């Protein structure tokens, strides 16, 4: 854990978050990206999570990374996913 500029908060990385490395959509902004990290801000006073922040890299290669609440993200399914799973072995 490391501290931030906020004196009463610890920051830790959620290395087991289900969206890590996944392509997601952020409906609030309409942007799509890959989740590179999810940080959890924990109160030093109560030891309870205060907030979570997901850090995304854009899929459009614009270079404009952004952050969002990971609970608002939606996973993107590959376009060919349904075609690949519907094939039967003969």
Burial 40-78 (b: 16+ CB within 10 A, else e): bbbeeeeeeeeeeebbbbeeeeeeeeeebebeebeeeee
Q: What is the pLDDT of residue 82?
A: 54
Q: Mind listing the pLDDT tens digit of every residue in the chain (90 residues)?
A: 444 446 799 999 999 999 999 999 999 999 999 999 999 999 999 999 999 999 999 998 888 999 999 999 999 987 765 555 555 555
Each residue of 55-73: pLDDT tens digit?
999 998 888 999 999 999 9
């Amino acid at each position: 854990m490391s501290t931030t500029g906020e004196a009463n908060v610890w920051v830790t990385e959620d290395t087991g978050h289900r969206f890590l490395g996944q392509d997601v959509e952020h409906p609030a902004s309409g942007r799509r990206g890959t989740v590179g990290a999810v940080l959890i801000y924990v109160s030093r006073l109560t030891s309870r999570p205060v907030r979570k922040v997901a850090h995304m890299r854009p899929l459009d290669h614009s270079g404009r990374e952004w952050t969002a609440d990971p609970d608002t993200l939606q996973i993107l399914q590959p376009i060919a996913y349904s075609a690949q799973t519907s094939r039967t072995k003969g």
